[in-house]
Amino acid sequence: MASTVLITGCSSGIGAAAVRRFAEHGWNVAATLRNPAKVHFEHAAGCVEAFALDVTDARAVDAAVAATLKRFGQIDVVMNVAGYGLFGPFETATAEAIQREFDTNVGGVFAVTRAVLPHLRERRSGVIINVASLTGLVAMPLYSIYAASKFAVVGFSESLSHELAAFGIRVKVFAPGAVATNFSGSSLARTFDGDGGPYADAIRKALAAFEANRAAGGSASSPEQVAQALYEAATDGSAQVLYVTGDDAHAVLKARHEMGEEALLAGVRQRFGLAG
Return the number of other C-beta atoms located less than 10 Å from residue 169's C-beta: 21
The one-character DSSP state at 220 is P
Per the annotation, the verdict on 199 as an active-site residue is: no
Are 200 and 273 in contact, with CB atoms under 8 Å apart? no
Question: CA 234 → CA 77, 166, 208, 257, distances in Å?
Answer: 7, 18, 37, 28
Angle at alpha carbon of residue 130, lines to 249 and 116, rounded to 5° = 175
The pair phi, psi for residue 117, each rounded to 5°, is -60, -45
Q: How many Å apart are CA 57 and CA 78, to the nearest integer?
A: 17
Write down the catalytic residue from 143, 146, 199, 231.
146
Question: If you compute the radius of gyration of the chain from its CA atoms, what whole number of angstroms results?
Answer: 19
The one-character DSSP state at 47 is -
Extended strands (E) in the chain? 4-7, 28-33, 48-52, 77-80, 85-87, 126-131, 169-176, 188-190, 242-245
Helices (H) and strands (E) in the chain, counts: 9, 9
Positions annotated as catalytic residues are: 146
